[in-house]
Amino acid sequence: MSENWQDKYAAIAFSRRGRILTIQLNNPDSLNAVGKQMHDELGCVFADAAADEESDIIVLTGAGRAFSAGGDIAHMQAVVDKPELFLHEAEIAKRIIFSLLDLEKPIIAKINGHAVGLGATLALMCDVTFMSRKAKIGDPHVGIGLVAGDGGAVVWPHLVGFSRAKEFLMTGDLLDAARAAEIGLVNHAVDADRLDEAIDTFCDRLAAGSTQAIRWTKTIVNIELKRIAAAVMQAGMAYETVTAYSADHAAAVAAFREKRPPVFK
């Protein structure tokens, strides 16, 4: 693999510390909201990281004060105006989830700030999650009239059980770090000024371990999650596509752009 494979990315940045590769969502001015370019790049980056010969451990984080604010509203408006674009979005969404689950290297989420919608899904699909106590996490797809089909319906029940998952996905409520750790949604709630130290310490521990044993332990644990994803993602994206074409979604996007609460019919 080319040593400069990272150069093709514009919305994602990279850094290295030894054999630890950090993947950073890199649009801090919009709180790392996921527009078309970042979404397309997320569809490739985990496969590229898997093939990267210079790393054994991956850290996923966001630039600035957020992990990711979820979907970019301007991009959502573009899809409302031209609904056929969502078919491309649906295919990339499936590629993102399955490439994350296929990645044998351990991937650690450094949730440095709010992780919302797809941002929450990206974090929760990682193997171990460290969350700043200043951050909140949640999947408010329903708040913009969408089904949480791009991974939320896969991973939330797996982590917190069906009843809690349905509660949080149907309300879109955001959880603080303490609550998220208490119910097992994330592994660790960490003071913001200790987040870097906690991540480095954990990654160094993995780096000192048996690379093959760690990778393949992850691989067998992921078998069940991949089975669930294979069963759910196709239907999830079909339902999300239907709601992407709905009047409720169009009204919600308009309301967000006009900075007022949406009114659903």
DSSP secondary structure string for all residues of 4-54? TGGGG-SSEEEEEETTEEEEEE--GGGTT-B-HHHHHHHHHHHHHHHH-TT
pLDDT confidence of 63, banded at 50, 70, 90?
A: very high
pLDDT at 2: 62
pLDDT, tens only, 115-146: 999 999 999 999 999 999 999 999 999 999 99
pLDDT at 265: 85
In this structure, of 81-85, 168-172, 210-214, 258-262, the range with the lowest mean pLDDT score is: 81-85
5-257 placed in CATH 2.60.120.40: no
Gap between the Cα atoms of 140 and 172, Å rounded = 4
In the predicted model, what is the mean pLDDT of residues 18-33? 97
In the predicted model, what is the mean pLDDT of residues 31-45? 97
Q: Are strands 12-17 and 20-25 parallel, antiparallel or unpaired?
A: antiparallel
In this structure, of 1-5, 93-97, 154-158, 256-260, the range with the lowest mean pLDDT score is: 1-5
Residue percentage of the chain with pLDDT more than 70: 99
> Whole-angstrom distance between the N-terminal and C-terminal Cα of the chain?
51
Residue percentage of the chain with pLDDT more than 90: 95
pLDDT at 224: 96
Instruction: Give the number of other CB atoms < 10 A from CB of residue 238.
Output: 12
Nearest to 71 by CA among 40, 36, 45: 36
Average pLDDT, the chain: 96
Q: Is the predicted pLDDT of residue 60 greater than 90, yes or no?
A: yes
Gap between the Cα atoms of 250 and 76, Å rounded = 9
What are the extents of the domains in the chain? 5-257
Q: Is the predicted pLDDT of residue 62 greater than 80, yes or no?
A: yes
